[in-house]
Structure 1
């Protein structure tokens, strides 16, 4: 499942990492100046799905679930970004923050009958506590009044077949790294010339390309994760897993692979 990445495309991409797309109106998620000027009061948007059904069971609706742990993420600022790292040029974090620390990243893989293994849910885990509710992760400026239907959401765009978690500071460092790479390799392709070999290190078999990396950013103590996004390109939401007392215990991305039961 090789990410689709063209250097000519990346030069044209101008949208922000979590420039969120509303499923209600097929919007790109970009807000006009007038929208940003008005006072936006964000309400808590709850998922109709309880994701604990994935984390607590070996099968979901007859589909086998496998757990893949891809290592820890260094979170020095507590500001988290979720996006497609290969095509994003402006990293904007969610407006909730967590305690700085080092946290595990887990991928829940669905063994589908039609398409084999697919990355269904990605989870950044801040605590072993169980979440009681799942709250849509938002950026400043996103107007929840636009979400008219229960299944509407703001989701980050994927165009290279990847999603990823990282700290806001790590995103800035990764951006500096990619800029320097382009200067040193004006005719190069950062995926083909650098990242592909990193993905291959995590392949199950020698002839496979690999579906994830936990990349240490060169000349930094920070890292960035990348992993395959379910069935590929699209728009995917992130949700905070929270207790009844509003303690944040996790952040998940739903790649819409599993037919999850609603509450």
Structure 2
């Protein structure tokens, strides 16, 4: 559904409030943000045949129920996906968490990052320091093109129709995550933290990955160049610039 003229008018009036509070590209160029150590890994490619994208929880009915892609469209094609790993220390134990994920459409550094919107948000109610974001319940996130989403949802429906005892993660994705962790062990737990999945019966590549600290609501952003063109897309799970690393909530 395309945003109404009234919604777009309100969005233009509130647009400055949708800017990211951080320079998100630092997650992919630096090895430290503040006093937080970070690194980067490659997650393979994503297929974007239509340029209309969804970000959602890949498990349960969440993806199937999501009918509205972001109204800003991306370039079409296959593009590299990378993740910034934040080294989070808790009581002496160090965890390697996915702090930010990026799709690069060009090699340009954005001059502006604006929150990705569907055009159905209550934009007139947005206040400084707030974002709308997307909700994650399983701890996993996926980015999927509108055209590929149909095949994704069809696969889920067919797999789960095999019986009431069937569990999509335990009976299907778990083995794929474990295998990927063995093949790409850097910064991954034995159970696996990310997967570049080709939807069965298609050539569509769709990344699935752990969402920062897990369950929560997270923002996504488009990166724009000086001409106002979309050059990248980001999901920010952890704000590494915040100094209080003792309180997980402060990092979201």
Structure 2 residue 204 is the aligned partner of structure 1 residue 222: yes
Deviation at 1:77, TM superposition (A): 0.4
Structure 2 residue 96 is the aligned partner of structure 1 residue 104: no
CA distance in 2, matches of 1:239, 1:222: 23
Task: Give TM-score, length-normalised by structure 2.
Answer: 0.83
Relative to total residues, which structure has the larger helix share, 1 or 2?
2
Aligned length: 225
CA distance in 1, matches of 2:42, 2:226: 27
CA distance in 2, matches of 1:208, 1:190: 19
Deviation at 1:152, TM superposition (A): 0.6
Structure 2 residue 117 is the aligned partner of structure 1 residue 142: no
CA distance in 2, matches of 1:77, 1:108: 26
Deviations 1:54-76 (A, max 9, x none): 22211111222111111001110
CA distance in 1, matches of 2:211, 2:229: 27
Deviation at 1:184, TM superposition (A): 2.1
Kindly report which structure 2 residues correspond to 1:34-113, keeping only aligned pairs within 5 A, or say none: 39-41=6-8, 42-43=11-12, 44=15, 45-87=18-60, 88=62, 89-91=64-66, 92-113=68-89
Task: Give TM-score, length-normalised by structure 1.
Answer: 0.80
CA distance in 2, matches of 1:162, 1:113: 21
CA distance in 1, matches of 2:98, 2:7: 34
Alpha carbons 1:60, 1:260 under 8 Å: kept: no
Aligned to 2:155: 177
CA distance in 2, matches of 1:64, 1:201: 27
Alpha carbons 2:82, 2:101 under 8 Å: kept: yes
RMSD of the TM alignment (CA)?
2.1
Q: Alignment partner for residue 130 of structure 2, among 122, 143, 152?
A: 152
Deviations 1:155-184 (A, max 9, x none): 100100011211111111110001011112
Aligned to 2:249: none
Task: Rate the CA distance shift 1:57–1:38 in 2: closer, same or farther, 3 A.
Answer: closer
